[in-house]
Amino acid sequence: MKTEFKDYLNGIGISGAILERAEEIFKFYNEYLKFEIDEIFVSEYIDADGSRVYENLWFFNSKYCFEAKNFIISENYDSDFYGKEIYSFNVSKKDYNILENISNDNSRLNISFNFNFNRVGILKASKSNCKQVVKIIENFIKPNLKE
């Protein structure tokens, strides 16, 4: 796994066995299926007691997105072609300055995007992870909007 991916995961509190799990999933997509991986994202949220809950692990390249659903306890992987086929996306935010990419401990940013065969991708982020969602929007969602 790329060093910058590990740095990102560590930055949102992922280490130890969960980091090893993420590396295993990366190898599945990158080494076994032979997909180039350009970016990583962990969909997560803050629960009622203030703990971060990690849901799905995502990988992106210019034409495909890959999702490992409930990645910590499940082995449910998919891949979807979205190259120039994203029909719409929705951004929902709270306490986050998306224009200047400034987050705080109360920041929340969720996006959903619609593409082929009525498929929907949902990315949830809190705190500093909001910055990664903006990166995904800029580098993968916007360039793949259907013209």
CATH number of 3-144: 2.30.29.30
Distance CA 128, CA 11 (A): 8
pTM, whole model, 2 decimals? 0.94
Indicate the domain borders of the chain: 3-144
Residue range 2-54, pLDDT digits in tens:
999 999 999 999 999 999 999 999 999 999 999 999 999 999 999 999 999 99
User: Strands 88-94, 108-115: parallel, antiparallel or unpaired by DSSP?
Assistant: antiparallel
- With beta carbons less than 8 A apart as the criterion, state whether 18 and 72 touch: yes
Question: Closest Cα to residue 129, out of 48, 68, 58?
Answer: 58
- Asked whether the predicted pLDDT for residue 101 surpasses 90, the reply is no
User: Strands 108-115, 119-126: parallel, antiparallel or unpaired by DSSP?
Assistant: antiparallel
Distance CA 89, CA 78 (A): 20
